[in-house]
Amino acid sequence: MADFMVSILQMSGSTASVACSPEEDLLSLCAKVAGMLQVPHASVKLMLGDEAFSPSDSLKSLSVLGIGQGTVLTFVRLPLLDVKVRMRVEVQGAGTDHVNGTYVARAETSFILERGEVYLQKIGGTQCISWYGQKDRTWPAGWYMEESHGGDGIYYISSTDMKSLPCNSWTPYCAERFSQPGDEPTPIIAQKVPKHRSNPVTTRKAAPKDGAKGKTMTKAALVNMLAEKHEMKTKACSSLIQSLAALASAELKRTGVFMIPGLCRIKTHAKPATMGGVRAAFGRNVNVKAKPARLIVKAYPVSAFSKQM
């Protein structure tokens, strides 16, 4: 089949044309658009009308996607972050809640697969954000939010640039293998800027002695400390703590919110069940498991308590 011209509509209203062949895939077209507009490949997002392309569309030919002579595609430039070791980013707003949190960039040490030089791992979790090159027709090149480093993909965004991390327009990753599609809404990424004290010399705390380790206070230690401070019997103090826990549980079930003055605010959030079904991925139908409804409980420190830290 002969080559044809596709019009690229920019947000400014101007248009440009790019020559394409029916056999080339969407990823190649994005690379052409990046070169023509002189923007990073990772910042290119193309839309057909009001519809965004899915992850499985990246490796499909333009003829399969219905792109031909006279087709007009809208170009949206995505914001990017330059990925560097030790940088921190904040993932927010993901429907799959355990993806949200702070991530720190680490140097990659395993290159069994074509991976980026740097990946980001969630602090206090196993979830990672990693770049992978294209693996035949198994997965397309791009950034993946994973359950663990090298684990199943949750969210995905197409990219051939391992050094630039797109901040938005992620999509749930649906594929036949290595896939646990995330829930809507999809995440947004922002760089986490470290806070600097106005006077670091006078406010700097003394460094702990070598070998010193802080230990988490046990329930027994807490009971003994409170009993001694308020001249109570330890049994009565222990019962008081248990009553507080029982009261919090009852109030959360009744109203969904419980406040401990001066300390924290506890909230519950009900996540509805998601239906299973069949989704198209890489030209095949993939069965996606249903997820039951679940109740999430979170505690938020009050402002006065946070300032004391």
User: With a threshold of 0.75, does the pTM exceed it?
Assistant: no
Supply the pLDDT for residue 72: 94
The three-point CA angle 274-276-280 to 5° equals 120
Supply the pLDDT for residue 94: 92
The SS3 of residue 131 is: strand
Supply the pLDDT for residue 197: 53
Domains, in order of start, for the chain: 4-77 (3.10.20.90), 81-191 (no CATH), 232-308 (4.10.520.10)
Packing angle, helices 219-229 and 234-255, rounded to 10: 110
| Token duo for residue 36 | 């023509």
d(CA 108, CA 125): 17
Supply the pLDDT for residue 83: 92
Question: Do residues 153 and 180 touch, judged by C-beta distance below 8 A?
Answer: yes
Low-confidence ranges of the chain (pLDDT < 70): 1-2, 111, 137, 194-214, 282-283
| Token duo for residue 178 | 């290595």
Q: Distance between alpha carbon 157 and the CA centroid of its chain, in Å?
A: 11
**Count of Cβ atoms closer than 10 Å to residue 152 Cβ:** 15
d(CA 233, CA 196): 45
Summarize pLDDT for 50-87 with one digit per residue, the tens.
888 877 788 889 999 999 998 999 998 888 999 999 99
Taking the CA atoms of 288, 289, 293 and 298 in sequence, report the sign of the dihedral they define: negative
